[in-house]
Amino acid sequence: MTRLRINGEEAEVAVTTVAELLALRGIDPKARFLAVAVNGAVVRRAEWPAAPLSPGDAVEIVRPLQGG
Amino acid sequence: MTEPLIIAGTTLRSRLFVGSAGYPNQQVLLESLAATGAELVTVAIRRISLEGYAESLIDLLGDKYRILPNTSGCVTARDAILTAELAREALDTNWVKLELIGDRETLYPDVEQLVHAADELVRKGFTVLPYCNDDPVSCQKLADVGCAAVMPLGSLIGSGRGIANPAAIELICSRSPVPVVLDAGIGTASDAAYAMELGCDAVLVNTAIAKSHDPRRMAAAMRAAVEAGHLARLAGRIPERDFAEPSSPQLGLVGS
């Protein structure tokens, strides 16, 4: 298990890459308008399958919403 | 009769930019946006729900409009820069409406951090449109670091109080080396027309349309107001006078 901070919430998850985390959370990696950052750095979509996640990493998964 | 607006080499058909927040429902939003004639629509970037991914409204807007992501809610340059970078990845655009809030109650910009973040984002290749104070010095500093436009506030975000300091807006417009977009505070159509008459290149409106009694009508009103104000600015207003100046000829009056 890997202890991560995902969108501000602590979680223990059995994943080792960004792609695995998205799959675990039921997020289609092909969905449009998604973006991911790990420890304050954007991880490009093409890198999701290989991008490693280590204990203590802070992951942000975002999308656009209505805004002004 | 008018020339198109060009920001960072991109020609925009409409001088009305619109926000997408606060509409009563999706149908009203889509119809209102259509009625504005706007090409540029702002969105926010937020953490997704970890309960699962569902199609959102932006999935619809993304194909019809040029999307301008904002960094709303950010209070540090670091968060604003990361939000801009996430937006670039999510939306495949290097345009960003840079917001850096210095006070949660008034939502006034934090100019010091704003200039710093703008400088950094320009260096990273972003086209930066900062929401900023209505003061010519801040606007000049933002232009100096390479912002593609400046977006001074008319009055507080969502306040609907119009243009609190028209002299300052006019001064900014007369000096700015980059396009000026009046952002925040518009309450009704006359405010938008006034902004354009003062010399603004465009106006950004969200709440005044979304929260009006009939957003579709207000959307059409804002469109007309921006066009009217822009035309009036180009035409040039007459000088103000202290006394009456008859418009009809003074010769040949009946009975004289």
- pLDDT for A28: 84
- Flag if A42 and B85 touch (Cβ within 8 Å): yes
Q: Does A30 touch chain B (CB under 8 A)?
A: no
Residue of chain A whose Cα is closest to the Cα of B78 = A40
**Tokens (6 digits) for B119:** 């400088």
Which of the residues B97, B124, B141, B211 is marked catalytic? B97
Q: Please, what is the Cα angle at B91 between B88 and B95, to 5 degrees? A: 50
Find the angle CA(A30)-CA(A32)-CA(A37) to the nearest 5 degrees: 85
The answer to whether B224 touches B189, Cβ cutoff 8 Å, is: yes
| Residues A61/B47, Cβ–Cβ less than 8 Å | yes
Q: Measured between beta carbons, which residues in chain B are less than 8 angstroms from residue A68? A: 19-22, 42, 44, 70, 72, 157-158, 206-207
The DSSP element (H or E) to which A18 belongs, if any, is helix A18-24
Structure tokens at B231: 């035309």
Q: Is residue A66 helix, strand or coil?
A: strand
Q: Determine phi and psi for A13, rounding to 5 degrees.
A: -135, 150
In order of A17, B37, B248, the CA distances from A53 in angstroms are 5, 45, 81
A67 Cα to chain B: minimum distance (Å): 4
DSSP code of residue A33: T
- Residue B45 and residue A37: Cβ atoms within 8 Å? no
What is the number of alpha carbons within 13 Å of residue B200 lying toward its C-beta? 32
Mean pLDDT of B21-49: 93
Model confidence pLDDT, tens digit, residues B68-103: 999 999 999 999 999 999 999 999 999 999 999 999
Please identify among residues 172-211 of chain B the ones whose CB lies closer than 8 Å to any CB of chain A: 206-207
- A61 touches B at CB < 8 Å: yes
pLDDT tens, N- to C-terminus, chain A (68 residues): 889 999 999 999 999 999 999 999 888 888 889 999 999 999 999 999 999 999 999 999 999 988 88
Give pLDDT tens digits for B95-154.
Answer: 999 999 999 999 999 999 999 999 999 999 999 999 999 999 999 999 999 999 999 999
CB contact under 8 A, A67 and B19: yes
> What's the rounded Cα separation, in Å, for the pair B51 and B103?
32
**Residue among A48, A55, A58, A44 nearest A13 (CA):** A55
The three-state (H, E, C) secondary structure of chain B, written as one string:
CCCCEEECCEEECCCEEEECCCCCCHHHHHHHHHHHCCCEEEEEEEECCCCCCCCCHHHHHHHHCEEEEECCCCCCHHHHHHHHHHHHHHHCCCEEEECCECCCCCCCECHHHHHHHHHHHHHCCCEEEEEECCCHHHHHHHHHCCCCCEEEECCCCCCCCCCCCHHHHHHHHHHCCCCEEEECCCCCHHHHHHHHHCCCCEEEECHHHHCCCCHHHHHHHHHHHHHHHHHHHHHCCCCCCCCCCCCCCCCCCCCC
The model's pLDDT over B194-252, given as tens digits with 9 standing for 90+, comes to 999 999 999 999 999 999 999 999 999 999 999 999 999 999 999 999 999 888 988 88
For the cut 60, the answer to whether the pLDDT of residue B53 exceeds it is no
